[in-house]
Amino acid sequence: MVSGKCLCGGVRFSVAETPKTVGLCHCGMCRKWCGGMPFAEFEAEVVLEKSETLRWWKSSPWGERGFCGECGTPMFWRAPGIPQWGVSAGALDSAAGMEIAKHIFIDDKADFYNFADDAPKKTGAEHTAEILSRLAAQFGEEFLRDALQKSREFHGEQFAAEVKKLMGNNSGNSNNA
């Protein structure tokens, strides 16, 4: 079990599983939101024990970010309807023993820092294709078509085409997928 909170204590949470690793997101949104998001991913339910100051912001067509409305601490990333949450590693009460497991959206990485580890690195399209492949198996083709359309609207045609290519998905055409 792991627990965490924001700086002012207005948001407190717990999760039944204990993460052993964190990922680092280098996408432009995470960099603007908090300088780059070290996150722990949870399949188990995140239990909000105190949430009076928790605010959600819909940051993209498929995701939203949770933060404390009082102190501003970035806390969560989630896609509504999908059980997996990303939790800011900095909000955990203890990150003892955790190691970096992956870097995502490395093609959006800022120029002012370099990678200092050997953890796997994925571009935004590679990461998105991996996630959508897993979710499409769970939620079906309609979900996949909708997700690819949202990806196209948000990141552009080239990004969506790369995701589709990486997935090996030949269903639908560029007008409806």
**90: Cβ–Cβ under 8 A, 6 or more apart, which residues?**
38, 73, 74
Do 22 and 99 fall within a single domain?
yes
Question: Quick one: which H or E segment has residue 2?
Answer: strand 2-5
pLDDT at 18 over 80: yes
Confidence label for 169 from pLDDT (cuts 50, 70 and 90): low
Note the pLDDT of residue 80: 74
Domain count, the chain: 2
d(CA 142, CA 60): 19
Note the pLDDT of residue 73: 95
Do 49 and 93 fall within a single domain?
yes
Do 53 and 133 fall within a single domain?
no
Instruction: State which residues form the domain around 145.
Output: 124-167
Query: Does residue 105 lie within any of the structural domains?
Result: yes
Do 144 and 129 fall within a single domain?
yes
Q: Which residue has the higher pLDDT, 151 or 49?
A: 49
d(CA 79, CA 37): 16
Do 54 and 64 fall within a single domain?
yes
Query: Does residue 64 lie within any of the structural domains?
Result: yes
Query: Does residue 141 lie within any of the structural domains?
Result: yes
Do 28 and 100 fall within a single domain?
yes
Query: Does residue 10 lie within any of the structural domains?
Result: yes
pTM for the structure as a whole? 0.81
Query: Does residue 175 lie within any of the structural domains?
Result: no
Encoding tokens for residue 105? 């959206």
Note the pLDDT of residue 85: 85
Query: Does residue 173 lie within any of the structural domains?
Result: no
